[in-house]
Amino acid sequence: MKAKIVLLILILVGIFMACNKDKFTTIPQIKIKSVTPETVSQGSVIEMRGQFTDEEGDLDSVFVVYKWYDGASAAIVFDTIKYSIDILGLPKNTREGDLLLTFAYGIQIDGVTQLTPTPSIRDTSATFGIVLKDKEANRSDYAESPKMRLIKF
């Protein structure tokens, strides 16, 4: 009987602690919510939407990882570009929010990041990944988008 009571108390304490977990941490958190469109042809604008949190609100950099795939699994091109947090257009000391990154595929549009993959003789697929870094050099976990289909030029 005593063991059942102790077990019940431990379960209740575990549930209570899980429900009160603070979503703000010193290490930035990032989640990619969507990338549109799913099929991208030359001249398309790609939008990647996500959410982030950072306890101190001191985000400094955004690392965007581009991966182009050969078939279903092997990444054939892997490129990481560092951007200032300014590309997100956030007010200073923002602790949480939504983000939107836009990329132009195969064309140049003022104010939009140019995305030019290695030329391919056939259609391929790609993903975007994001890592956030704050001023104390804390890095978020890597978050990656679902694959999108890229139509050859």
Are 150 and 144 within 8 A, CB to CB?
no
Please identify which residue in the block is written with the tokens 């679902």: 146
This prediction has a pTM of: 0.72
Task: Find all residues with CB under 8 Å of 106, minimum gap 6, and list them.
Answer: 42, 43, 44, 115, 116, 153
Candidates 23, 16, 50; CA nearest to 35 is 50
pLDDT digits (tens, 9 = 90+) for 74-113: 666 667 888 888 877 777 888 888 888 888 887 777 777 6
For each of the domains in the chain, give its residue range(s) and CATH number, in order of start. 23-150 (2.60.40.2550)
Percent of the chain with pLDDT strictly greater than 70: 73
Is the pLDDT score of 114 beyond 70? Answer: no
